[in-house]
Chains A and B, each alone.
Chain A
Amino acid sequence: MPRNVPGIIVILVGLLLLVDFVVINPTLVDVSNAVLRLVVLLAAAAGITGASFLVMRHGRAVLDGSPHRLESSVLIVGLVAMLATGLYPGSQGAADPAVRWMVTALLAPLVASLFAMLFVFLLVAVRRGMLLRSRQMRVMLLAAAVVIVLLLPLGGQLGGWLAAVAAWSEAVPIGAVFRGLLIGVGILVAVQATRILLSVNPADD
């Protein structure tokens, strides 16, 4: 396939979806919906391919006697169990009670226990950041220290003053930084979307 054919397809589909966004036309809606259905099919095919490769890789690890064969076995057993409960005759798919039980009783606690380690990893990250001695890290630690002082649970006039300064900090300087980041991201998303539509990449520049 010539190198510019995918780029042309991307441009045509992008323009079609853009025109469909601006113009109300029944034919355009039908064509756009057909294209989007193709995208969903592509995603489904990619999902099946990815899962197949995952099984092949971990199956090979089990068969070859890899040091991680136990973990690979657990992954394959979990995958088979989830597929069996979601695809057995008469199953309700993702809404099947067995699938729901596996998600709520097994997956959700596993994920929750992983994220429970966030505090420990935050301390590890702070230590690593201090070792890096970057200017950004110094500014961030200073700002964090100021915010901790502002959020001290104190009463009286001092507490009220600290709370007022904390609210001002959140609304003005911190809010300004976040708004600046979001505006910058928004502008550059538009730029990069255009570059992708035109198939412009650094190698072409």
Chain B
Amino acid sequence: MPNPGELLGGLVSFIGQQVSASSLRLGPVPAAAIFLIMLVLLSLVARPSARWTLRDVGRLGAVTRAMALAAESGGTAAFSLGTAGLVRGVSAVQRIQTLVALPILAHVARAAARAGVPFRVTTNDPLTAQLAASAVADAHRRTATQEREQRSSVEYLGEGRAVAAASAIVDPAAPAAAFVAGGLSEEALLLLVGTSQGAAWTSFGTAAASQAPAVVMTGDGTMIGPELLQATSDLRPGSERIAVLAANRLLLAAIVVILVGSAVALLAGVDLAVTLAGG
């Protein structure tokens, strides 16, 4: 049995061998830049403390009202997690859209659980179905409504983008509130129109830039491009959300005043650069 000194020596030797057997794939500057970017993201961006836009992205702030209307009309709520999935998505940008849609799903599921609205989630990806089932179960646990969990369902529709689109078109059930969030492709229009049929309240979103027109045409609330990724950070209910929204509106007013004031000053012949910087 080696003594602690030999063990330590062996460990140091192993580390030395690994270091000597390694080389930087991108060179020192790009490698340092990658780690620096990671450090900045970790320290500054991972916990954003303010909203980045003014409007209520995807009308997610009104989900509670939508669920109240659904409950009053005896309707259901439907949520589709797009068609990219996690296992079947071919690119990281598509897969991450599914990942960021899961907190949105959890937000909607909590509202549905509180309102007692039957909630149906559909996806064409098996791993996503498992995660969605966990999110729905967690929503009922957090809202202490486990007795209503039987009325919620998560359905794996089968493989393929066409399957999700066809299911949305032929499904006779018309939900009172319909949501689609996640990666979409050429089937977007079919899926969104099919999902929105008969729905009194819709919120659709995808980061696929080419499918933005389909989202605009079919959704009351829209999350286009980066908005889908940003919406997750904005799911902060309560007074803090209202305060930040009000602060952002004040910022918008300040920007308008500065722009209009600058234009007036320029038209009046005042050189702002000289005025501000001196000289």
Q: B residues within 8 A CB of A190?
A: 37, 41
Indicate if the CB atoms of B186 and A115 lie closer than 8 Å.
Answer: yes
The dominant DSSP class at the A interface is helix
Cα(A126)–Cα(B21), bound, Å: 61
Q: Chain B nearest CB: distance from A51 CB in Å?
A: 7
Contact of B25 among A23, A184, A196 (CB under 8 A): A23
Given A22-B31, A205-B236, the answer on whether A50 and B126 have CB atoms closer than 8 Å is yes
Q: B residues within 8 A CB of A117?
A: 169, 190
Look across to chain A and name the residue whose beta carbon is closest to the beta carbon of B99. A196
Q: B residues within 8 A CB of A21?
A: 25, 34
Stretch at the interface among B62-70, B215-223, B255-263: B215-223
Given A49-B130, A202-B233, the answer on whether A189 and B93 have CB atoms closer than 8 Å is yes
A132 within 8 A of B: yes
Cα(A193)–Cα(B169), bound, Å: 33
Query: Chain A, 166-195, contact with B by CB distance < 8 Å: what is the 0/1 string?
Result: 000000000000100110110111111111
A54 within 8 A of B: yes
Indicate if the CB atoms of B126 and A202 lie closer than 8 Å.
Answer: no
Given A122-B189, A128-B196, the answer on whether A198 and B42 have CB atoms closer than 8 Å is yes
Cα(A170)–Cα(B234), bound, Å: 33
Q: B residues within 8 A CB of A118?
A: 189-190
Stretch at the interface among B5-13, B112-120, B155-163, B268-276: B155-163
The residue in A24, A43, A188 that gathers the most chain B C-beta atoms within 10 A of its C-beta is A188
Stretch at the interface among A89-97, A134-142, A157-165: A134-142
Indicate if the CB atoms of B25 and A49 lie closer than 8 Å.
Answer: no
Q: Chain B nearest CB: distance from A175 CB in Å?
A: 11
Indicate if the CB atoms of B38 and A18 lie closer than 8 Å.
Answer: yes
Indicate if the CB atoms of A23 and B156 lie closer than 8 Å.
Answer: no
Indicate if the CB atoms of B126 and A194 lie closer than 8 Å.
Answer: no
For chain B, the bracket of interface size reads 35 or more
Look across to chain B and name the residue whose beta carbon is closest to the beta carbon of A27. B18
Look across to chain A and name the residue whose beta carbon is closest to the beta carbon of B196. A128
Indicate if the CB atoms of B162 and A115 lie closer than 8 Å.
Answer: yes
Q: A residues within 8 A CB of B129?
A: 50, 53
Contact of A194 among B26, B46, B187, B193 (CB under 8 A): B46
B213 within 8 A of A: yes
Contact of A51 among B38, B126, B160, B235 (CB under 8 A): B126
Indicate if the CB atoms of A25 and B21 lie closer than 8 Å.
Answer: yes
How many pairs, one residue from A and one from B, have CB atoms within 8 Å of each other in the complex? 161
Given A121-B189, A125-B217, the answer on whether A185 and B162 have CB atoms closer than 8 Å is no
The dominant DSSP class at the B interface is helix
Indicate if the CB atoms of A140 and B127 lie closer than 8 Å.
Answer: no
Q: A residues within 8 A CB of B233?
A: 191, 195, 202
Q: Chain A nearest CB: distance from B137 CB in Å?
A: 15
Q: A residues within 8 A CB of B46?
A: 191, 194-195, 198, 200
A57 within 8 A of B: yes
For chain A, the bracket of interface size reads 35 or more
The residue in B18, B99, B213 that gathers the most chain A C-beta atoms within 10 A of its C-beta is B213
Given A24-B24, A114-B162, the answer on whether A185 and B229 have CB atoms closer than 8 Å is yes
A154 within 8 A of B: no
Q: A residues within 8 A CB of B225?
A: 181-182, 184-185
Given A132-B220, A192-B96, the answer on whether A46 and B34 have CB atoms closer than 8 Å is no
Interface residues of A (CB under 8 A from B): 18, 21-28, 42-43, 46-47, 49-51, 53-54, 57, 75, 110-111, 114-115, 117-118, 121-122, 124-126, 128-129, 132, 134, 136-137, 140, 178, 181-182, 184-185, 187-196, 198, 200-203, 205
A-B contact pairs, 25 of them (CB 8 A): A18-B38, A21-B25, A22-B25, A23-B23, A25-B21, A28-B22, A53-B126, A114-B166, A114-B190, A117-B190, A118-B189, A128-B193, A128-B196, A129-B216, A132-B220, A136-B216, A181-B209, A190-B41, A191-B41, A192-B96, A192-B229, A194-B42, A200-B46, A202-B103, A202-B233
Interface residues of B (CB under 8 A from A): 18, 21-26, 31, 34-35, 37-38, 41-42, 45-48, 87, 92-93, 96, 99-100, 103, 106-107, 125-127, 129-130, 155-158, 160, 162, 165-166, 169, 186-187, 189-190, 192-193, 196, 207, 209, 212-214, 216-220, 222, 224-226, 229-230, 232-233, 235-236
